[in-house]
Structures are given as structure tokens and as C-alpha cells.
């Protein structure tokens, strides 16, 4: 700063020397008690200028911008209106010094004139003396212009009230402490654009922006705003004088983008639209910012209707009372040779051929911001001068900091709007309109976005005439996935994806995570392509089930029959039938059958650790003893009739050492050890079967077949041995059919379990436990009915066969047959 101020002093002294004070006032200058500065870009430099030395530019020779000239006239009108008012600043006249700022870096002479005192700029040691006579600056329009000039005015806190600079940086009060604006910042405009996208579900968009502070800030705000939305920025490109617009539009078309935001001044926007018309770009939706959404030149341009639909965010059209009369009056008074009216550099319009109709027909955007900016300064001055009815005090010094404080406290009504600024100097009033360029070539208001007291967005879809035959255009990279389909990204954009159906037992929560299928809980299920999981139906066979009741009754009947047979065998214990059936071994078999019966009851009800254990343990242990007894019994039968004659020593050894009991006890001990070991390491436990029926949980018992296989080995081996021994006795006496009875029992046993295993492989519903219980009960009944019941029949109904004489006769006849 210490090096910068002396340089300003030198440049100010130079400007003082070239000031033309003898020329009569022009429309850029008006004397008054207090002066307002004004910066308007009435002209525009189309390309950068290369200069070998610092030199001010003559803006009047550049491209004329009629809408900006209209705003310039609006400031003049507002000052005249205030000067004619009897309530606002009575007996005080406002003046102005307005400059045409057509190029940021080469329009500084006018700016230095505003901050100079008597044509000089000095780093005054006393801030209260020798100040510029302007109390505030209205303007400039663009963000880049404001960034260029603002530091010069921020030094002594001279208030700046911009009517068009919308870059977000001006809200930072540490950098721009005395900056105010009557136009909403880019953030608000971007919010409206994003609201439009979300309203119409447009997610695949292009964003073209000017390569300056305004456009770059707009892009940054747009990227920040869509960060947590479904909108994807498919294409973005900075616009400048040398941009190849044809290539940009071809690339947009190649990327299948149907919605294009042009966030740029009217010069760039006009170039983009003209190029689109030339290239015959069709079926696009064009989104205009508030800088060109009311552009009357483009609205009437030939071919504009063929490029698609144009929507825009615009400053609301506010009619300024008396402005039309002012233009009609002043245009008749403009001197013909306006070059002679210039009092300082860039204070000439060179627009003497304009008519009042031309000015009034120009783009009316930013009219109210200009109008309210001048009024804000006037009201602040009104408060400082303590103006009352018809008079203001003239002995009060107007200091920049005092003006700054009063502007911060602004609160007045202007054309039914309450003008206020927030702590950042941004407006707390107004709204933004949503406009549609209709077939008549006019910008028709179809919606609005209110900022206070709370943001409110509304758009009337029925007023928009879409280029797609009345249907809202689609702007998607990929169509939305059906319910239950997860998105799998293609490339870097979240909007581009393929859809994959979620498999069974999974679902997609599109709100939390649309990209990954989530596994259902163990108690839930879902079909493929689901958006939620359903509770599984818990299935098991209760004790009240009719089939369960039938089997339990059958088990009780079996126990009763066993007891009856035991009683019958007990009272006929010394008879040949009981002795030939095994004698005391019969009671062991009957006892083991009885101990197997409780297993049936534990196949029903909700499984528990105890029920799962008792479902298998009694049957595996005691049924093995039964099989061991029948192995011994079948071996004894074959031994009596076939082996005894050939191997007499074997029979004597068998009888001497009671080998049958050694075999039975050994089998019992080995089986008990195996069962206890396997069930200790891998005990049966409740298990939820969900793999067979996705909508059910079948409560079952998990039996580790690998660990329990040793427990099944001995019963299987005994069954094979028993079947072999009994089959060897198939040619024994016809009436002595114990071997045949044992063979038949074993065939029933094998057939029963083959049926069950087959059913188990095909079906795992809740009734598999009923079938298992039935197989167990059938195994018990087979021995009782086909081995013991025939003997009971002989003891009860054929007692003549239950004699020693009858049995000896059978054996003698068989021996004679063998010897012959």
C-alpha cells in the first residue's frame, strides 16, 4: 500500500492536467450539493487490446450496448426524481459524475477522477480532510469491473452500491467492507437453476460460463450446489472471444446432453445462440442467467424457435413510474453534437441517433437494482443530514464511515418492496423470476423464487410450450433403475450406470445406498429385485399338530404293546417258544425298544438344546443294542442248525463263555462311547433352516453328519451282519421261521430308512421331522410286530406248538432231511 499510494498521486496529478473544465455539462455530469459517482459499461470492447504504453481508451468508438445505456438513463432519472421530491432530501440537491467503463484495465481515468480532489490523488494523512466530493459510488455492473475498482474505494470506506456485480467474493466483508449490492449474488441464481433442474428431474447437463470472475464464480457455486444432489455436470467449458463454439456444441450433442446452462454476459450468450442456430442445433433446453434471460434481440432472432426451449432466471420486471416520460423528454433535448459535451475522458455516448422508443424497448433487466441503489444512497444521506419536514441540516459533515453505517441500517419501502441489506451487504429484498421464451418472442413469467422470509420456489408447468410435443424433455445419462435394481457406475459420473437386479435374500435401499444390495437378516427374506425384506414364516411341528398327535399316540400304543408282550413272555418264560426266541434276551430287546420310544416325542415342538440331544441319543444307543441282540440271535439260529455239526468246538466255546452277552455288552459300550464323544464335540443344537424355502424358517436340529458318522457305523454294520446270518437260515424248517422273521424285519427297516433319506434329499419343510419320527416309530414297530407278535400268537392261539415235543420233532425232521 505504501508503494501504491504515491503512484496514485502521480497519476492523479497527470489526470488533473488533462481535465477539460471549460466544456459545458453533458448528461454524464450534474452539479449538486452532494455528488454520486456512477460507472456504466455503455460500450463494450470485443477483444483485448495490446498497447506499448499506458493509455486511456476512448469507449465511444467501441460496441454500443443499448440495455446498459438504458440503465445509465435510469440513474439520471432517479437522481432527478429525488431532487424533485419534497420528502426525500428536501432542499438538498444531488449531483452525479458518471463514466463509461468499457474495459476494466483501460478505463481508470474516470475512476481516478471520482476519488481525486481538485484533480489530484494524494495519500492524505488526515482522513477527515480533502476528501473527494462523491458520497458513494453506484456501480459498476460486472463483477470483474467491481474487483478492479473496489480496492480504490475500500481504502477510505467510500460506499459502493453495485446494481449488477453478483460474484460471491463481494460478500466477504474483510475484503470489501463498504461494498453493497442491490442484485442477488450468484449463489441465489444458481439455487434457482438447480431448483428448475430438480423440478423437471434433469440430471445430465452442460454448463457454459464466461471466462471471467462472474462466470468462474458461477461454475464454482454450481458445482458446490449440486454436490449432494443427483445432478451431474456432464460438460463444462469457458467462453471467451476465441472459443470455438461450433466444436463445443458438437461435443455437447455427441455426449447426448439436452440441457445447457449459459452463465455468461449477453455478448457471449448471443454468440452461443447464434452459433446454435447456424449449426441447426435442435431439441435442447437452454437455461439463461439473469444477464440475458430478457434479451429482446435473441427473442426475436430468426430461427430461435428451432433450437429448442429457452428458460431463464430473470430480475422481476418492475415498472418505474415516470421513467418513460423522462426518456421521451430528455431524448428531445440531447445535443446533436454530443462529442462537444464531454467534460472528461469517457463521458460521451456517441448515440445521438437513438430514439426514445429504442431505449424503452431495450432489455429492462436490472432496472430496479439501479433504481434502488440510488435510493439507498439517498436515504442514507437523508438520515445523516437529519432531514425533517421540508428541510435538512447543512452543517453536518458527511463522512464515508457514517454513510457506511447508514447503508447497513437501510430499511425503507420502494415500489412496495422493503429495501434492506444483510450483514454481507447483500439484498434482503426482491425475488427472481423464471421466464420462458414463448412462441411470440416474449419472455413470459412462468414461476418465481422468493428469498424471504423463507425460500419458496414455484413454477407453472402448463405455461411452458416444450419443443418435445408438450412432454417435459428428458435429461438423463441413464434411465432410472427399476425397483430392486442396483446402480453400477459407468465411468466417473454418478448419473451414468447400468442396472443390476438384486439377487434373492437381498434388497436395495435406494435412499441410503442405491449402488449396493444389502443382505436380509436371518429372520427375513426377499425375492430377486426387492426394495425391502419380508419376515420369514417360522415353521415347526407343534405338539398340537394332528400328525404329531397321531405319532405320539402310536408311540404310546407301542409302549403298551411292549408291556403286554413282556408280560406274556414272562408268564410263558419256560416254554419252548420263549426259549427259542432268546429267553432273557427277549426282555433286553423289549426294554431297549421301550427306551427308544421317548425319542419320538422330541421331534415335535420348538427345538431346544435338550430336545435336539434327546431326539437322537436314546435311539442311536438303545436301537444299536436291539440290533446286537438280533445279530446274536440270528447267529445262534444258524449255529444250531448248520454250524454245530461242522464246528462242535465253536458251539461249546460259545456256550461256555456266554459269547452272546460279551458281544452285546461290547457293542453297547463301544456305541455309547462313540455317541458321547461325537455329541460332546458337536452336540445337536437348534438350527434355522432357510436355504430350501426362502420365505420360511424351518426350526430344526443341526446334526453334524461328519462327526456323527461314527455313531451310525456300528448300527449299519450290525444290520448287515444280522441280515447275512438270517439270510443263511432261509432254508430252515418251514414252521421254525425265526430267521425269516428277522430277515423280514430287517428288510422293513432298510426300506423305511431308504424312503426317509430319499424324502430328506427332496424335501426340507417342517414335516420332515414328522417323517423322521415316523421312520423311528416304524423301525420300532417292525421288530415288535414281525418278530414278537407271531410268537405271542402261538402262545395264545396255538399252544400245542409251544411244547418240547413239537420243537424236537421239527429239529429231527430237518436233521433227517439234511442227512439224506
Residue whose grid cell is 441413464 = 478
Cis amide leading into 453 (omega within 30): yes
Give the C-alpha separation, 632 to 658, whole Å. Answer: 11
Average pLDDT of 284-307? 92
Give the C-alpha separation, 747 to 283, whole Å. Answer: 83
Residue whose grid cell is 467503463 = 101
Give the model confidence (pLDDT) of 153-210 as tens digits: 998 899 999 999 999 999 999 999 999 999 999 999 999 999 999 999 999 999 999 9
User: Running DSSP on this structure, what letter comes out for residue 352?
Assistant: T
Q: Cβ distance 631 to 714 under 8 Å?
A: no
Give the C-alpha separation, 164 to 257, whole Å. Answer: 30
Residue whose grid cell is 420332515 = 768
The 3-state DSSP class for residue 642 equals helix
- The three cell numbers locating residue 780: 420300532
Q: Cβ distance 94 to 36 under 8 Å?
A: yes
- pLDDT computed for residue 340 by the predictor: 47
- The three cell numbers locating residue 199: 423440478
Nearest CA-CA partner of 94 in 80, 108, 106:
80
Give the model confidence (pLDDT) of 721-755 as tens digits: 888 887 776 665 554 567 778 888 889 999 999 99
Give the C-alpha separation, 63 to 764, whole Å. Answer: 87
- The three cell numbers locating residue 67: 440495455
Nearest CA-CA partner of 711 in 630, 781, 618:
618
Residue whose grid cell is 476528501 = 131
The string of DSSP codes covering 535-558 is: EPEEE---TTSHHHHHHHHHHHHH
Checking if the pLDDT of 346 tops 80, the result is no
Checking if the pLDDT of 689 tops 90, the result is no
Taking each helix axis as running N to C, give the angle between helix 4-18 and helix 108-115, from 0 to 180 degrees, rounded to the nearest 10: 100
More confident residue, 237 or 510: 237
Q: Which helix (H) or strand (E) holds 38?
A: strand 34-40
Q: Which helix (H) or strand (E) holds 406?
A: helix 400-408
* % of the chain at pLDDT higher than 70: 88
Residue whose grid cell is 450483514 = 423
| Buried-exposed string 286-316: b where 16+ CB fall within 10 A, e elsewhere | bbbbbbbbbbbebbebeebbebbbbbbbbbb
Residue whose grid cell is 462529442 = 339
Give the C-alpha separation, 766 to 695, whole Å. Answer: 13
Give the model confidence (pLDDT) of 749-806 as tens digits: 999 999 999 999 999 899 999 999 999 999 999 999 989 998 899 899 888 888 777 7
Nearest CA-CA partner of 618 in 781, 773, 750:
773
Give one word for 753, left, alpha or beta, with left for phi > 0 and alpha for psi -120 to 50.
alpha
| Buried-exposed string 10-35: b where 16+ CB fall within 10 A, e elsewhere | ebbeebbeeeeeeeeebbbbbebbbb
- pLDDT computed for residue 111 by the predictor: 82
* CB proximity list for 18: less than 8 A, separation 6 or greater: 345
- pLDDT computed for residue 774 by the predictor: 96
**CB-side neighbour CA atoms (13 Å) of 719:** 18
Give the model confidence (pLDDT) of 89-133 as tens digits: 998 999 999 999 988 777 777 788 888 877 777 665 555 555 667
Give the chain's count of helices (H) and strands (E).
Answer: 26, 27
- pLDDT computed for residue 388 by the predictor: 86
Q: What are phi and psi of 37, to 5 degrees?
A: -90, 150
Cis amide leading into 354 (omega within 30): no
- pLDDT computed for residue 14 by the predictor: 33
More confident residue, 385 or 118: 385
Averaged pLDDT of the chain? 87
Give the C-alpha separation, 285 to 383, whole Å. Answer: 48
Give the C-alpha separation, 79 to 134, whole Å. Answer: 14
Checking if the pLDDT of 376 tops 60, the result is yes
Q: Cβ distance 562 to 594 under 8 Å?
A: yes
Give the C-alpha separation, 389 to 366, whole Å. Answer: 32
Residue 200: CB atoms within 10 Å = 19
The distance from CA 14 to its chain's CA centroid, rounded to whole angstroms, is 63
- pTM, two decimal places: 0.72
Give the C-alpha separation, 676 to 673, whole Å. Answer: 5
Give the C-alpha separation, 191 to 197, whole Å. Answer: 10
Residue 124: CB atoms within 10 Å = 14
- pLDDT computed for residue 105 by the predictor: 73
User: Running DSSP on this structure, what letter comes out for residue 117?
Assistant: B
Give the C-alpha separation, 815 to 820, whole Å. Answer: 9
* CB proximity list for 250: less than 8 A, separation 6 or greater: 279
Nearest CA-CA partner of 557 in 335, 780, 247, 710:
780
Average pLDDT of 56-66? 85
Give the model confidence (pLDDT) of 544-602 as tens digits: 999 999 999 999 999 999 999 999 999 999 888 898 888 899 999 999 999 999 999 99
The distance from CA 439 to its chain's CA centroid, rounded to whole angstroms, is 39
H helices present in 286-399, as ranges: 296-299, 323-331, 356-360, 367-384
Q: How confident is the model at residue 648 (pLDDT cuts 50, 70, 90)?
A: low
Q: What are phi and psi of 236, to 5 degrees?
A: -145, 145
Q: Determine which of 289-298, 351-360, 364-373, 407-416 has the lowest per-residue pLDDT on average.
A: 351-360
Q: Which helix (H) or strand (E) holds 135?
A: strand 134-138
Give the C-alpha separation, 480 to 497, whole Å. Answer: 9
Residue whose grid cell is 415500489 = 415
Give the model confidence (pLDDT) of 15-46 as tens digits: 333 333 333 347 899 999 999 999 999 998 87
Residue 148: CB atoms within 10 Å = 19
Taking each helix axis as running N to C, give the angle between helix 66-83 and helix 323-331, from 0 to 180 degrees, rounded to the nearest 10: 100
Nearest CA-CA partner of 275 in 302, 254, 245:
245
- pLDDT computed for residue 208 by the predictor: 97
Taking each helix axis as running N to C, give the angle between helix 659-681 and helix 648-656, from 0 to 180 degrees, rounded to the nearest 10: 60
User: Running DSSP on this structure, what letter comes out for residue 344?
Assistant: S
Checking if the pLDDT of 484 tops 60, the result is yes
Give the C-alpha separation, 377 to 421, whole Å. Answer: 12
- The helix, strand and coil proportions of the chain, stated in percent and rounded to the nearest 5, come to 45, 15, 40
| Buried-exposed string 506-544: b where 16+ CB fall within 10 A, e elsewhere | bbbebeeebeebbebeeebbbeebbeebeebeebbbeee
Amino acid at each position: 500500500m505504501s508503494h501504491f499510494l504515491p503512484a496514485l498521486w502521480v497519476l492523479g496529478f497527470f489526470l488533473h492536467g488533462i481535465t477539460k473544465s471549460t466544456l459545458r455539462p453533458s448528461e454524464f455530469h450534474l452539479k449538486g450539493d452532494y455528488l454520486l459517482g456512477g460507472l456504466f459499461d455503455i460500450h463494450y470492447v470485443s477483444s483485448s487490446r495490446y498497447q506499448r504504453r499506458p493509455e486511456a481508451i476512448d469507449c465511444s468508438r467501441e460496441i454500443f450496448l443499448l440495455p446498459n445505456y438504458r440503465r445509465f438513463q435510469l440513474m439520471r432519472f432517479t437522481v432527478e426524481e429525488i431532487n424533485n421530491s419534497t420528502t426525500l432530501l428536501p432542499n438538498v440537491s444531488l449531483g452525479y459524475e458518471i463514466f463509461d467503463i468499457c474495459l476494466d484495465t483501460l478505463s481508470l481515468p474516470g475512476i481516478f477522477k471520482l476519488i481525486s480532489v481538485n484533480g489530484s490523488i494524494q495519500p492524505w494523512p488526515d482522513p477527515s480532510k480533502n476528501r473527494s466530493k462523491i458520497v458513494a459510488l453506484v456501480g459498476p455492473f460486472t463483477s470483474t469491473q467491481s474487483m478492479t475498482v473496489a480496492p480504490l474505494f475500500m481504502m477510505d470506506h467510500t460506499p459502493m452500491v453495485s446494481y449488477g456485480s453478483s460474484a460471491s467474493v463481494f460478500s466477504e466483508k474483510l475484503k470489501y467492507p463498504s461494498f453493497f449490492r442491490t442484485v442477488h449474488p450468484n449463489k441465489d441464481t444458481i439455487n434457482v437453476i438447480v431448483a428448475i433442474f430438480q423440478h423437471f428431474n434433469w440430471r445430465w447437463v452442460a454448463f457454459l460460463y464466461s471466462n471471467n470472475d462472474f462466470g468462474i464464480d458461477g461454475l464454482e457455486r454450481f458445482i458446490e450446489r449440486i454436490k449432494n444432489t443427483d445432478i451431474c455436470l456432464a460438460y463444462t467449458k469457458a467462453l471467451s472471444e476465441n472459443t470455438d463454439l461450433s466444436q463445443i456444441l458438437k461435443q455437447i450433442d455427441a455426449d447426448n446432453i439436452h440441457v445447457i446452462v449459459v452463465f455468461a454476459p449477453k455478448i457471449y450468450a448471443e454468440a452461443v445462440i447464434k452459433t446454435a442456430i447456424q449449426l441447426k442445433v435442435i431439441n435442447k433446453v437452454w437455461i439463461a442467467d439473469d444477464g440475458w434471460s430478457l434479451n429482446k434481440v435473441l427473442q426475436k432472432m430468426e430461427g430461435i424457435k428451432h433450437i429448442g426451449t429457452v428458460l431463464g432466471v430473470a430480475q422481476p420486471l418492475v415498472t418505474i413510474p415516470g421513467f418513460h416520460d423522462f426518456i421521451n423528454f430528455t431524448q428531445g433535448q440531447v445535443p446533436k453534437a454530443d462529442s462537444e459535451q464531454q467534460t472528461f475522458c469517457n463521458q460521451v455516448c456517441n448515440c445521438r441517433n437513438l430514439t426514445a422508443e429504442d431505449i424503452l424497448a431495450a432489455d429492462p433487466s436490472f432496472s430496479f437494482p439501479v433504481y434502488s441503489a440510488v435510493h439507498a444512497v439517498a436515504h442514507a444521506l437523508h438520515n445523516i443530514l437529519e432531514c425533517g419536514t421540508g428541510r435538512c441540516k447543512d452543517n453536518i459533515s458527511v463522512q464515508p464511515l457514517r454513510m457506511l453505517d447508514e447503508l447497513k441500517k437501510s430499511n425503507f419501502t420502494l415500489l412496495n418492496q422493503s429495501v434492506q441489506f444483510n450483514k454481507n451487504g447483500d439484498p434482503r429484498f426482491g425475488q427472481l423470476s423464471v421466464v420462458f421464451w414463448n412462441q411470440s418472442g416474449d419472455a413470459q413469467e412462468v414461476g418465481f423464487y422468493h428469498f424471504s422470509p423463507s425460500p419458496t420456489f414455484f413454477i407453472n408447468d402448463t405455461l411452458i410450450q416444450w419443443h418435445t410435443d408438450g412432454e417435459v424433455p428428458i435429461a438423463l445419462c441413464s434411465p432410472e433403475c427399476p425397483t430392486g435394481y442396483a446402480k453400477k457406475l459407468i465411468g466417473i459420473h454418478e448419473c451414468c450406470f447400468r442396472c443390476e437386479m438384486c439377487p434373492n435374500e437381498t434388497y436395495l435401499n435406494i435412499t441410503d445406498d442405491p449402488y449396493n444390495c444389502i443382505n436380509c437378516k436371518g429372520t427375513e427374506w426377499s425375492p430377486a429385485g426387492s426394495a425391502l425384506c419380508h419376515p420369514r414364516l417360522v415353521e415347526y411341528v407343534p405338539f398340537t399338530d394332528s400328525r404329531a398327535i397321531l405319532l405320539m399316540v402310536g408311540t404310546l400304543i407301542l409302549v403298551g404293546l411292549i408291556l403286554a408282550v413282556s408280560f406274556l413272555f414272562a408268564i410263558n418264560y419256560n416254554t419252548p417258544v420263549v426259549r427259542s426266541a432268546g429267553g432273557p434276551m427277549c426282555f433286553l430287546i423289549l426294554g431297549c425298544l421301550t427306551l427308544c420310544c421317548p425319542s419320538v416325542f422330541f421331534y415335535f415342538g420348538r427345538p431346544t438344546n435338550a430336545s435336539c440331544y434327546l431326539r437322537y441319543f436314546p435311539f442311536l444307543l438303545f436301537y444299536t443294542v436291539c440290533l446286537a441282540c438280533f445279530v446274536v440271535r440270528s447267529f445262534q439260529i444258524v449255529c444250531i442248525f448248520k454250524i454245530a455239526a461242522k464246528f462242535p468246538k465253536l458251539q461249546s466255546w460259545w456256550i461256555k463263555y456266554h459269547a452272546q452277552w460279551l458281544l452285546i455288552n461290547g457293542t453297547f459300550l463301544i456305541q455309547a462311547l462313540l455317541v458321547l464323544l461325537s455329541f460332546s464335540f458337536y452336540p445337536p443344537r437348534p438350527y434355522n433352516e432357510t436355504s430350501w424355502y426362502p420365505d420360511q424358517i424351518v426350526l430344526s436340529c443341526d446334526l453334524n453328519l461328519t462327526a456323527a458318522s461314527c455313531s451310525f457305523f456300528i448300527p449299519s454294520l450290525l444290520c448287515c451282519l444280522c441280515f447275512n446270518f438270517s439270510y443263511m437260515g432261509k432254508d430252515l424248517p418251514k414252521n421254525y421261521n425265526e430267521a425269516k422273521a428277522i430277515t423280514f424285519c430287517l428288510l422293513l427297516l432298510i426300506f423305511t430308512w431308504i424312503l426317509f433319506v430319499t424324502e430328506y434329499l427332496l424335501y426340507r419343510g417342517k414335516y420332515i421331522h414328522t417323517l423322521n419320527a415316523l421312520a423311528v416309530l416304524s423301525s420300532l414297530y417292525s421288530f415288535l410286530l414281525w418278530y414278537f407278535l407271531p410268537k405271542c400268537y402261538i402262545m395264545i392261539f396255538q399252544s400245542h406248538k409251544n411244547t418240547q415235543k413239537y420243537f424236537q420233532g421239527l429239529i429231527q425232521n430237518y436233521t433227517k432231511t439234511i442227512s439224506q
